[in-house]
Structure 1
Amino acid sequence: MSNARATHFTRRGILAAGGALGLGAALAACGDDDAKSGGSESTASAKATGPWSFKDDRGTTVKLDEVPTKIVAFTGVAAALYDYGIEVKGVFGPTKTKSGKADVQAGDMDVSKLTVFGNVWDAFNVEQYAAFQPDVLISTTFDSAGTLWYVPEASKDKIAKLAPSTAISVYDRQMTKPLGRMWELAESLGADMTADKVVQSKKKFEDAAARLRAAAKAKPDIKVLAGSASADLFYVSGTNFSIDLEYFKALGVNFVEPPEKAKEATGGWFESLSWENVDKYAADVIMMDDRSSTIQPADIAEGTWKQLPAVKAGQVIARSPEPILSYDKCTPLLENLAEALEKAKKVS
């Protein structure tokens, strides 16, 4: 996919994380646009001192005289850094639900203490960001053009002038690659990667990967479908670009893969189906997008959904199309799928 095309689809708000969905409208309705005050003191617990340099996945190298402490990051990135001991207090992206609780992408962070510059798609309080005087902005990128995730197209140039940015690519690679890059980023910011908790989290991830590989090998005929729900459409994700699905597929999981022709309208990410046609693909296990911008399985009222063999058999599990890139948070994703395969019956 060309850079221009990748950028086109991303900026239209297809929210291609994990081949998910075109839910710009749903995201806009999710949460509060207003930035929340959380203070603007030192925002990282980095122990490193002196000059800082980091080359990101766009090939951009940021060099600062000191290790950045006033970090602003996409919520999921901040959550990953938090797991490694780097506390980021300035965030943008899904952080709080309408009820004020932590969004799934906020991980273990205390969202009441975060300064949120924009909680929904296309919202970013540039004035407050400028007043915060950030050292660096950190996000992910879901395309080959290096577009910063959740940085609005309309204000990206203003935002870029206020602080340098760095990005971890979560496009067209297996999960282990961005996990490794996040590890390197956290280490550069002063995280203690020899801490027992950190070392054990990586070991648990590796054990979970081995378990999933074994489960997939034992159940090669079990078909897994990665889906996402909106009011009008059901989305079937392809595995070509998504870091989680690419990795699970490499471990041997047998996925439903929509044909390329069916995915053309979304640049190869996913196929959109009407609810009348939700049974187009036979599946034994369904993984459903767990983000707050989507309709969750318990809330799907469509009769066609309820008649799916996997649904009737109770073989539906959650999927995190935008994984928090720490080993601690990615391990359960492997374990949950492994358990689902171990228990799954052939129903399609």
Structure 2
Amino acid sequence: MADVPRRALVALAAAALLGVSACGGTAASPASSAPPASSVQGGSWTWQDDRGKKITLPRRPQRVVAQSAAAAALWDFGVRPVGVFGPHKLKDGGRDPEVGEVDITKVESIGNVWGEFNVEKYAALRPDLLVAGMYVKDTLWYVPEQSVAAVDQIAPTVGVQLSGKPLVQIIERYGRLAEALGADLTAAPVAEAKKRFEDASAALKRLAADRPGLSVMVVTGTPDSLYVAYLPDHPDLKYWGEDLGLKIVHPERPTESEGGFWEVLSWENADKYQADVILVDARTQSMKIEEMAKKPTWAKLPAVKAGQLYPWHAAERYSYLGYAKVMEELTTNLDKARDDVVKE
């Protein structure tokens, strides 16, 4: 469980995506207009990623391999990777939520858990490009440190910075990358997803305005500790709290050893913060609510006693469709929650 809490520390959290040769490459539609960070000139293709690294290829990449969350975001914009790595398949064979809408029967898997990345399989896919998000600066999520050199020799890599950026800006960045890879951002599914995201944002903002006293806290747990999310370091929480006005209870500062993102509490101190609603990390590797219920201090929290515990999709893909669904669910859950379980 040590890899669960620190969302930014690659040793924690989740996801990836892979593809088979027979599945082809990226979206068929050519980009309607090249984004500022990329260009296609004389048949060549360039992109400057969030490490400041400029990638130049003789043609637009066709065979893309991506970390599962990145694959899920690109998929929603119309790009079809050939391979994925990171959480994408559950033990029962079903699709891990972290890989979004990706059809895992049509992509090659090169790794499904933290630290698992099959370099030989990756090379066999003949990739043109690898894409992964970055929570830690200049560190591609779910690419094991010991595999970086080999991966770099096989194909260029693109990193998308996920921490320290506004939620909408990250989504737009993935959109521009997808467009550079041949996706059509004017396609109906993309336009509909964006409208759905805007509507979901507006609905959550209305709820926050109508119920200013409703307080929310976001946590994840391990057998030894409770981790309380530090709002400024999570793009989704920052968007809900600062842009939409949702009252989110969070630490004044994170625990230094975590590199940000969380304050770490012993279970004996699980009552340091209280809120009407608690959102609990829904990732498969995180501690389950039933397990947390066995911790006495946790069990006494007002939100726990009131049954106002709902999922937090910590590794949601950064796409309009992904976060539209998250906010729709969140608004539905908060709408039925009491806002008086914490007594002042």
Q: Following TM superposition, by how much is the alpha carbon of 1:40 offset from its aligned partner in structure 2, in angstroms?
A: 5.8
Q: CA deviation at 1:337?
A: 2.6
**Match status 1:189 vs 2:181:** yes
Alignment of 1:124-203 (within 5 A): 124-143=117-136, 145-203=137-195
- Residue 228 of structure 1 is matched in structure 2 by 220
Which residue matches 1:110? 103
Deviations 1:279-304 (A, max 9, x none): 22111111111111112324534143
Q: Aligned pair count? A: 327
Aligned-pair distance for 1:236?
0.7
Is structure 2 residue 3 aligned with structure 1 residue 16? Answer: no
Contact 1:175 1:243 survives alignment (8 Å): yes
User: Equivalents in 1 of 2:44, 2:10: separation in Å?
Assistant: 41
Match of 1:246 in 2: 238
Deviation at 1:332, TM superposition (A): 1.8
Aligned partner letter, 1:162 = I
Instruction: Find the counterpart in structure 2 of residue 100 from structure 1.
Output: 93
Measured in 2, the distance between the counterparts of 1:109 and 1:207 equals 24
CA spacing shift, 1:282–1:266, aligned 2, 3 Å: same
Q: Which moved more, 1:109-118 or 1:199-208?
A: 109-118
Cα distance between partner residues in 2 of 1:296 and 1:43: 37
Q: State which of 66, 76, 83 in structure 2 corresponds to 1:90.
A: 83
CA contact (8 A) 2:20 2:125 kept: no
SS of residue paired to 1:187 = helix
Match of 2:314 among 318, 321, 328: 321
Q: Is the 8 A contact 2:218 2:229 kept in 1?
A: yes
Provide, for residues 104-130 of structure 1, a one-character-per-residue CA deviation record: whole Å limited to 9, x for no partner: 111122223321111111111112212
- Name the aligned partner's letter for residue 6 of structure 2: A
Q: 1:335 aligns with which of 322, 328, 340?
A: 328
Where 2:255 maps in the other structure, the secondary structure is helix
Runs of 5+ consecutive residues of structure 2 not aligned to the other structure: 32-42
Is the 1:290–1:318 contact (alpha carbons within 8 Å) kept by the matching residues of 2?
yes
Residues 128/20 of structure 1: CA separation in 2 closer, same or farther (3 Å cut): closer
Say if 1:139 and 1:148, in contact at 8 Å, map to a contact too: yes
SS of residue paired to 1:272: strand
Percentage identity across paired residues of the two chains: 37
Structure-2 change in CA distance of 1:21 and 1:46 (3 Å): closer
Distance verdict in 2 for CA 1:187–1:225, change over 3 Å: same
Q: 2:116 maps to which residue? A: 123
Deviation at 1:341, TM superposition (A): 3.3
Q: Secondary structure at the match of 2:146?
A: coil
Distance 2:307 2:3 in 1: 32
1:46 pairs, out of 13, 24, 28, with 28
Matching of residues 209-220 of structure 1 within 5 Å: 209-220=201-212
Report which stretch shifted further, 56-65 or 45-54. 45-54
Tell me if structure 1 keeps the 8 A contact 2:23–2:106: no
Q: Which moved more, 1:38-47 or 1:126-135?
A: 38-47
Task: Say whether residues 1:347 and 2:344 are aligned partners.
Answer: no
Shift of 1:13: 5.2
- Alpha-carbon distance between aligned partners in 1 of 2:231 and 2:10, rounded to the nearest angstrom: 14
AA of the residue aligned to 2:322: K
Alpha-carbon distance in 1 for matches of 2:325, 2:257: 32
Conserved 8 A contact 1:36-1:116: yes
Counterpart in the other structure of 1:308: 301
Q: 1:71 to 1:292 in 2, by over 3 A?
A: same
Q: Aligned partners of 1:225, 1:36: CA distance in 2, in Å?
A: 34
| AA partner of residue 54 (structure 1) | W
SS across alignment from 2:152: helix
Match for residue 3 of structure 1?
Answer: none
Shift of the 331–320 alpha-carbon distance from structure 1 to 2, 3 Å rule, reads same
C-alpha RMSD over aligned residues: 2.6
Contact kept? 1:71, 1:137, Cα under 8 Å: yes
Q: Is 1:289 equivalent to 2:271 in the alignment?
A: no
Shift of 1:202: 0.6
TM-score, normalised relative to structure 2 = 0.87
The Cα shift of 1:178 comes to: 0.6
1:5 equivalent in structure 2: none
Residue identity matched to 2:341: V
1: CA distance, partners of 2:290 / 2:222 = 13
What is the CA–CA distance in structure 2 between the aligned matches of 1:14 and 1:94, rounded to whole Å? 13
Cα distance in 2 for partners of 1:267, 1:280 equals 21
Q: Distance in 2 between matches of 1:221 and 1:337?
A: 16
Does the aligned pair in 1 maintain the 2:27–2:79 contact within 8 Å?
Answer: yes
TM superposition shift of 1:167: 1.6
Once the 2 structures are TM-superposed, how far is the Cα of residue 164 of structure 1 from its aligned partner? 0.7
Check if 1:208 corresponds to 2:200: yes
